[in-house]
Structure 1
Amino acid sequence: MSTTTPATDSRRQQRKNPTDGELTSAPGEQFAPPPKLRRRPVLIAASVAAISLGALASMWAYQSTSDAQSVLAVRQTIERGDVITADDLMTVNISVDPALKPLSADQASSVVGKHAALDMSAGGVVTQDQVTEQALPAKGSSVVGIALTPGMLPANQIRVGDKVRVVVTPGQQGEMPTGQPDSIEAVVVGVAKDETTGNAIVNVQVPNNEGPMLAARAATGKVALVLDSRS
C-alpha cells in the first residue's frame, strides 16, 4: 500500500491549464506571492549623485571649450630687445580675459621679426605691448640701468614707456644744489626689482651723448626719478 504526504497530494492536485499550459492549483490552494525586491536608499542616492556630477562635468567642459580662444604664447623665454622668431612662439587654446588684449594665433606673421619690448616668459600669452618694431636701444640712444630705493621714485607708478627725468639729489652732506637741479630726460624701457636689496632697477633710454653722464650719476646713488605726464 502506498502512502502519501500532504506535499505529494498537493503536487498531484496541480495540473496544467489546457488552454495556456500554466500550472493551476487545486481548489482552496494558493501559491505563495513572489518575493518583494528590497530597495536600498543609499544606492539610489549614490546613483542620482553620480548622474548629477556627470551632467555638471559635461556642462563645464562644454563651457570651457566654447570660451577658449586660439592665441599666441611664448614657447621659450625671450629677452627684452631680442628679435622674435617663429620658434619662439606657439599656439594655445585657452580662456583669456579680453582686457589683456592677447594676440590671436593668426597674427603670428605680424609678430615674427619684431623686437621684444619686455622680457617675455615661457608659457605666457603674447600681448601687443610686448612687441615693438624698434630695437632697444634705438639708433642713436643708450640704455642705462639705475638702482633706486623706494623713496627715490613714485610708488607703483613707473612702467615701460613712461617719460621721466633723472634728477641729481643732494650730496653726502645734504647740501642743496643752487638753482634748478640737474636732470636728464629719459624713457623707461624696463622695470625690475632687486630681491636682495628691495630696490627698483629701472632701465632708461637716453641719447648717446647723455649716456655716460647718467651712468656716472647713477653710480653715486644720488639720483631720483620724476614721472612726467603720460598725456
Structure 2
Amino acid sequence: MPLLDKIKKKADDSAATEQEQPAIPTAATAAPIRQRRRPAFIALGVALIIVCALGALWLVDRLSTTTQVVVAAADVPEGQRLTAEDLTTTDVTVPSGVATVPGSDLDTLIGQRAVGPLEEGTLLAPGDVSGEQFPASGTAVVGVRVSTGQIPTNDVDPGDPIQIIGTPREGDDPPSGDAPVITGTVQAISSPTTDGVVVVDVLVSTDQSATLAALSATGRISVVLVPEEE
C-alpha cells in the first residue's frame, strides 16, 4: 500500500476512535444557595444595640453628676461645738441611699454640736450634729489631769470608752477592797505640757461626776482603755 494511503488510513482510524469514546459529563454549575433572612433575629440585635447604648449613656451621666455636700474639715470630738474651721464642702458622687447634708446647709450647722466623734474628711449625715444641749440631761463632763504612767501610751482618742480607777499612794499596800471605778467616754484630750501632763475631758453620768472630780484632785488615778460595748 502506498505511503500516502497508509497515512490517510491511520488518520481515519484515529478519528473513528475518538467518536467511539463516550463523552465525559461535566459538572453542572451549582446554583447559589440563598440564605433566608430572619426578621426576628435582626430586630433582637437592633434592640440589644439600643439597650447597650442607653445603658452607657446612663452610666456616663451618673459618673459625671456630682453633688456638693458638707464634710468634716478636722477631727471633731463628740459634743464639741462646731465652728467654721471644722466644716467645709466638697463635690462628690453620692451613691444611692447614702444620707448627706447639702453644701447649702453649711452655715446652719455652725454652733451646733457633734453627736459623735467626726473624723476629718467624713461626709456629714443629718444625724451627726444636733442643736440640743450638751452635755445632755443626766450627764456631765469632768476634766481629769493625768501624766505619763497614768494613761496608756497607745493613742486614746475622743469617743473611746475608758475607766478611771482610783489607786493608792505610792508605796502603799494595794487596797484590800475593790478600788473605785468610774466609767466614761473621752470627749477631748489637750496637748501635753512640757512635763507631760494632759487634761482628758471625760463624759460620765451625773451621779459619778463628784466622785471622779475628787479622785482627779488626789492625782492617784489610772486611765484604762476598754473595748466598746457591742
**What is the TM-score of this pair, normalised by structure 1?**
0.51
Name the larger-Rg structure: 2
Question: In the aligned structure 2, how far is the partner of 1:119 from the partner of 1:225?
Answer: 20
CA distance 1:183–1:107, change in 2 (3 Å): farther
Match of 1:224 in 2: 222
Output aligned runs, 1:158-169, within 5 Å: 158-169=156-167
Match of 1:54 in 2: none
Opposite residue 177 of structure 1, the aligned amino acid is P
Which of 193, 196, 204 is the aligned partner of 1:195? 193
CA distance 1:188–1:84, change in 2 (3 Å): closer
Which of 147, 150, 158 is the aligned partner of 1:149? 147
Question: In the aligned structure 2, how far is the partner of 1:220 from the partner of 1:127?
Answer: 42
Question: In the aligned structure 2, how far is the partner of 1:108 from the partner of 1:168?
Answer: 46
Question: In the aligned structure 2, how far is the partner of 1:179 from the partner of 1:91?
Answer: 54
Match of 2:105 in 1: 108
Which of 184, 208, 211 is the aligned partner of 1:210? 208
- Contact persistence 2:77–2:187 (CA under 8 A): no
Question: In the aligned structure 2, how far is the partner of 1:151 from the partner of 1:87?
Answer: 34
Question: In the aligned structure 2, how far is the partner of 1:163 from the partner of 1:87?
Answer: 27
Q: CA RMSD in A?
A: 4.6
CA shift for structure 1 position 162 = 2.0
CA shift for structure 1 position 179 = 2.3
Opposite residue 105 of structure 2, the aligned amino acid is A
CA shift for structure 1 position 141 = 1.0
Secondary structure at 1:193's aligned position in 2?
coil
Identity of aligned residues (%): 26
Question: In the aligned structure 2, how far is the partner of 1:131 from the partner of 1:200?
Answer: 27
CA distance 1:212–1:84, change in 2 (3 Å): same
Question: In the aligned structure 1, how far is the partner of 2:167 from the partner of 2:154?
Answer: 21
Question: In the aligned structure 1, how far is the partner of 2:202 from the partner of 2:176?
Answer: 26
Question: In the aligned structure 1, how far is the partner of 2:108 from the partner of 2:160?
Answer: 23
Secondary structure at 2:149's aligned position in 1?
helix
Secondary structure at 1:150's aligned position in 2?
coil
Match of 1:42 in 2: none
Question: In the aligned structure 2, how far is the partner of 1:128 from the partner of 1:178?
Answer: 49
CA shift for structure 1 position 193 = 2.0
- Contact persistence 1:188–1:204 (CA under 8 A): yes
Opposite residue 152 of structure 1, the aligned amino acid is Q
Question: In the aligned structure 2, how far is the partner of 1:128 from the partner of 1:198?
Answer: 34
- Contact persistence 2:161–2:186 (CA under 8 A): yes
Output aligned runs, 1:1-231, within 5 Å: 70-72=68-70, 81=79, 84=82, 90-92=88-90, 105-106=102-103, 108=105, 112=109, 114-116=112-114, 127-128=123-124, 131-133=128-130, 135-230=133-228, 231=230
**Any gaps of 5 or more consecutive residues in structure 1?**
1-65, 95-102
CA shift for structure 1 position 198 = 2.2
CA shift for structure 1 position 174 = 2.9
CA shift for structure 1 position 145 = 0.8
Question: In the aligned structure 1, how far is the partner of 2:195 from the partner of 2:85?
Answer: 36
**What is the TM-score of this pair, normalised by structure 2?**
0.51
